[in-house]
Amino acid sequence: MCYSDVISLEQLPVHSLLNPLRRAFGQHNQVILEAPTGAGKSTALPLAMLDWAEIEGKILMLEPRRVAARSVAHYIASQRGCAIGEEIGFRVRGESRSRATTKLEIVTEGILTRMIQQDPELEGIGLIIFDEIHERHLTTDLGLALALEIQGSFREDLKILAMSATLSGLPLDSVMPEAISLKSEGRSFPVDIIYNAVSASKNRSQHQSHSQWIEHMGRCILDLLKGDNAASEGSDDLSNGSLLAFLPGQGEIMRLHDFLASRLDLNQFSLCPLYGNLPAKAQDKAIAAADDGKRKIVLSTNVAESSLTIEGITMVVDSGYKRQARFNPKTGVTKLSLKRISQASAAQRSGRAGRLAPGHCLRLWSQEEQGRLLKADEPEILHTDLLPMVHDGACWGVKSLCELPLLTQPSQANESVAWQLLQMLDVVDEQRKITAHGQQAYELGCHPRLAHMLLKAKSLSTGTGSDELTGLACLLAGVLESRSRSRQGTDIGNYLREAGQGESGQQVRRWMKKLKVNMSLSEIIAGAASSDIAFLLALAYPDRIAKSRGMSGYQLANGTGVILPDNDPLSHVDWLVVADFQESEGRTSGRVYLAAEIDSAAFKEQLSFLVSTKNYCGWDESKGRFFAETQKCIGQIVLSKTASKKPEPSQIKAAITEQILAKGLGLLNMDDKLVQLQNRVKLAAKLDSEHGWPDIDDASLLANLDDWLGPYLGDVRSLSQLKALDCYTLLLNCLEWDKQRRLDSLLPCHWPMATGTKAKITYDDSGRALLNVRLQEALGMAQSPVLANGKLTVTMELLSPARRPLALTADLASFWQGPYVEVKKEMKGRYPKHLWPDDPANTLPTRFTKKKTFNAKS
């Protein structure tokens, strides 16, 4: 790690907390430490702890990223004066430099979880340090939960230190209520922040916009390096300093790299990419001090956001974007989308420029947008694929993740999908108890899908005298777990040879050793048959068997649509098994990255167990009636169907629900009265939140059809009968009687005017209450009506005698004093028989003409 040798560890702010921290561990085994960027918590603190008598046993420190784990370990070892792998070591996926006598071991978060599963008492471990816990990675939350379980059950003496750059929005008190909290000041230099947003265009496509901000970023970097930017005015530091640029992913890094490489003198500047999939040597080059006299430009993802100090950085250029993976439980796949970072992340990034000297940060968004960013990043547990985590939970013995002391409870939908898939793969039984197969799968140390495939291949190979199928399964798993691949099309068979090389090759050999495969990789590759590849992938991805839809791509067994590039050799085959695909923002179909062709004959032979028979009821548009048939299916793909007898009421009910989910709530009687009820309840939930109003918006109604609509479908036999259902009353009855009365009181549908008229109040989906009334009936009103216990002012839509709109105002007093004068001038001549007084605020209202009003008074 490249910390300046000029600054001694004793000068770092965290040094003042060493004694208080020792005293804290003398009183309690849980400590929470808040230490901002530059405090020295990742380096000075564990280095000092090596000599503390209070800590008996090995110290484990968790880092969220491999590059940080390796760098921190090397730096502390150098400060300690020992070789890496002796007293100081590290362990990351695919690389370990540690031994039994190692006193401080830096590990990535997933390593800890496996250590706990293998040894629930963590024998020999005295302290676990969770560094950068604010990043809220899935493995961080799980590792902390399991460590707390151990501390509470087996190891009361185990010490836990949770460290964070910020505690804002971090609910550590909920799982560590008795922990002692300490706070350190940061050690960072001032950073000037400049905003320079890329100009927007409404007519620009997403691709053009994406290319434009990368080009904008490139030009900003060139200006900074030349001293032509506002951030560099009056500063000599920038003429010699290095630059760190934050981008969302590898693709953007390489595009910016190419842009800069063609415009910079590479004899003066060194361009260094930095991302997770980069080989270790290239990562080391990016974070090491430049020793060739060149100024360094580091193009990084958020791996450089925390725990790393890159020598010589005085400038940060921040794109403001990150690539977020969000799991879709309906399709069972993760969608990647470009998202704005949070304010906390922006602060971390800008702080990189002030770690060793005063610096400058250029943010490529507006200062106004900065205020609209989320305060902190969402925890991964809310939006990521929970399958590996649920597998961990099952191995630990829980039947729901809520049984663990988690900082944040997971998405219920995502967790439910994970348990269902584990049951399909025979990893857990119907009671969510881990099976022997599931335990063996966990010990293989790979994704549950791939572990299932490996074990099934081994089982099928037993007794055949050949390990070829098992070896092929190991190679396929190597392809799918590889952190980087070449581009050789979507056919997974093209990647077998490279899967046997480098880091992935080492992992393949470890699996082969565990599964006792006595063949060489070259023999396995030479004998690999496409039918075997497809069969093995179908074992791992039964929900991703795909049938061609002609020109529109393929349909997966889980119902998702996917596409392949037109020129790909697999783009015109009838059947595929898709091993890797992703959904992207703005695209209706996912893009396939890895697949294999499969012969449909396999569904009658070795894959016949995937075929199910079901009775289906649907709606025939052409004949206008429901029909029933027996289908043979793989998931949602229909292989064959035969007509059956008249559908049963229960089948029709299921078919109606399917139609509504497919075509929307428009099939129901969603009249204006019902829409008004939805808008009123939504507004009540906002203005009267303490009373717990239900969600009855369209999305919630679709998600809960069985609850509110299902009980009333028993006698429905046609879509016309469905349309006749009084859905307003059904929804109103979802509210208890006291809630109905409270809603009418808070947000009434009518307002009593002094004239006796009950003026209608309309609520729109933006939260506005609109009262329509003729202007003459509003005379004498000093202010607009106020609803919801004074929290909502009604907007008055004042109408002409012919009930045409004249004015719209939520401030009636101001209207009478100003705009009314112009309205009166225009309307008095058009409606001379009606009242247009000079003092409207003090005139009695009327529903009649002047003559009728006068006669009534007489």
Is the same domain home to 60 and 133? yes
Which of 331, 350, 382 finishes a domain? 382
Work out the end-to-end distance of the chain between its first and last CA atoms, rounded to an integer number of angstroms. 96
Residue 248's domain comprises 191-382
What pLDDT is attached to residue 205? 46
Is the same domain home to 46 and 173? yes
Cβ within 8 Å of residue 262, ≥6 positions away = none
Report yes or no on 139 lying in a domain.
yes
Per-residue pLDDT at 567 exceeds 70 = yes
Is the same domain home to 112 and 221? no
DSSP structure class, residue 341: P
Section 596-622 average pLDDT:
89
Per-residue pLDDT at 826 exceeds 60 = yes
Report yes or no on 118 lying in a domain.
yes
Report yes or no on 643 lying in a domain.
no
Task: Tell which wins on pLDDT, 823 or 586.
Answer: 823
Which of 160, 183, 206 finishes a domain? 183
Per-residue pLDDT at 544 exceeds 90 = yes
Task: Tell which wins on pLDDT, 606 or 618.
Answer: 606
What pLDDT is attached to residue 7? 44
Is the same domain home to 84 and 196? no
Which of 581, 604, 627 finishes a domain? 604
What pLDDT is attached to residue 594? 95
3-state secondary structure (DSSP) of residue 657 = helix
Per-residue pLDDT at 82 exceeds 50 = yes
What pLDDT is attached to residue 183? 87
pTM: predicted TM-score of the whole model, two decimal places: 0.76
Cβ within 8 Å of residue 472, ≥6 positions away = 457, 496, 524, 528, 532, 533, 536
Chain mean pLDDT for the chain: 88
Q: Which residues pair with 191 in a beta bridge?
A: 359
Bridge-based pairing of strands 269-274 and 295-300 is parallel
What pLDDT is attached to residue 144? 95
Section 512-533 average pLDDT:
93
Report yes or no on 662 lying in a domain.
no
Backbone angles phi, psi at 704, to 5 degrees: -125, 35
Per-residue pLDDT at 451 exceeds 80 = yes
DSSP structure class, residue 788: T
Task: Tell which wins on pLDDT, 718 or 795.
Answer: 795
Is the same domain home to 195 and 320? yes
Cβ within 8 Å of residue 422, ≥6 positions away = 387, 390, 391, 394, 428, 438, 448
3-state secondary structure (DSSP) of residue 385 = coil
What pLDDT is attached to residue 851? 66
Q: Which residue, among 73, 79, 64, has the nearest Cα to 4 in the 3D structure? A: 79
- Write out pLDDT tens, residues 342-394: 998 898 888 888 877 889 999 999 999 999 998 888 899 999 999 999 999 99
Per-residue pLDDT at 405 exceeds 50 = yes
Task: Tell which wins on pLDDT, 103 or 53.
Answer: 103
DSSP string covering 722-777: HHHS-HHHHHHTTS-HHHHHHHHHHS-SEEE-TTS-EEEEEE-TTS-EEEEEEGGG
Section 310-319 average pLDDT:
88
Report yes or no on 390 lying in a domain.
no
Residue 590: which pLDDT band, with cuts at 50, 70 and 90? confident
Handedness of CA 90, 92, 94, 99 (dihedral sign): positive
Is the same domain home to 767 and 709? no
Domain count, the chain: 5
- Write out pLDDT tens, residues 656-694: 888 898 888 988 999 999 999 999 999 999 999 888 899
Section 529-533 average pLDDT:
94
What pLDDT is attached to residue 312? 81
Is the same domain home to 528 and 587? yes
- Write out pLDDT tens, residues 262-298: 999 888 898 999 887 777 778 878 877 777 778 889 9
What pLDDT is attached to residue 523? 92
Q: Which residues pair with 300 in a beta bridge?
A: 246, 274
Section 616-643 average pLDDT:
85
Is the same domain home to 100 and 33? yes
The CATH number of whichever domain residue 248 belongs to comes to 3.40.50.300
What pLDDT is attached to residue 186? 65
Helix 138-153, helix 109-118: angle, nearest 10: 30
Residue 4: which pLDDT band, with cuts at 50, 70 and 90? very low
Report yes or no on 640 lying in a domain.
no
What pLDDT is attached to residue 354? 82
Is the same domain home to 590 and 453? yes
Is the same domain home to 822 and 675? no
DSSP string covering 345-364: HHHHHHHGGGSSS-EEEEES
- Write out pLDDT tens, residues 458-481: 999 887 778 999 999 999 999 999
Per-residue pLDDT at 237 exceeds 60 = no
Report yes or no on 377 lying in a domain.
yes
What pLDDT is attached to residue 9? 62
Percent pLDDT > 70 in the chain is 94
Section 580-591 average pLDDT:
79
Section 428-434 average pLDDT:
96
What pLDDT is attached to residue 330? 80
**Pairwise CA distance, residues 594 & 575, whole Å:** 14
Is the same domain home to 84 and 166? yes
What pLDDT is attached to residue 741? 95
What pLDDT is attached to residue 185? 73
What pLDDT is attached to residue 852? 63
Section 135-160 average pLDDT:
93
Report yes or no on 555 lying in a domain.
yes
- Least confident range from 59-73, 123-137, 294-308, 772-786: namely 294-308
Section 33-47 average pLDDT:
83
Is the same domain home to 157 and 254? no
